[in-house]
Structure 1
């Protein structure tokens, strides 16, 4: 019997489609502001979204950002839009795990 490695799967809060964790971008609540956690290592509750402005618009329209991050007030998505604009045409840094040391944490010796 062949064994397969486990691949973490998350659900995009915008389009509600399940995808591999490496294909999604993690968003966190940073002291009342929405922030991009490109390395997916920030402490606390996070929400996952495709790195696509369409999914961000869907999440805003559905008010999913506040619910997913358990925030009572509205969240400004401007930092996420700026992040999308700065990486337009390039893949996100967290998507390329082929570089040496990528994906390691301090406790793993990286």
Structure 2
């Protein structure tokens, strides 16, 4: 049975393979495609709607336990490529 994670955007549960793992590195959100980068990770559906919801709710800061603004350029470009 595949592990299940919760999307920080829409808050729905989904298999880990259908979500992107996102970590914060130096105040920038980075997609962790290998799920091996150190630190806390947040899971997100690879669609603009979930990213926008997560940013609106400020879910990344809470899930990753970081303060201050986080850059989203890298994650947005990754979603554009996959979507």
**Count of paired positions:** 83
Contiguous gaps of at least 5 residues in structure 2: none
Structure 1 or 2: more helix by fraction: 2
Q: Larger radius of gyration, structure 1 or 2?
A: 1
TM-score by length of 1: 0.71
**Deviation sequence 1:9-45 (CA, Å, 0-9, x none):** 1000000000000010000011221101012111111
* Structure 2 CA distance for aligned equivalents of residues 29 and 54 of structure 1: 20
- Please list every run of at least 4 consecutive aligned residues from structure 1 whose deviation after the TM superposition is greater than 2 angstroms: none
**Gaps in structure 1 of 5+ consecutive residues:** 1-5, 89-110
Q: Select the residue among 45, 62, 69 that pairs with 2:64.
A: 69
RMSD: 1.0
Residue number in structure 1 paired with 2:15: 20
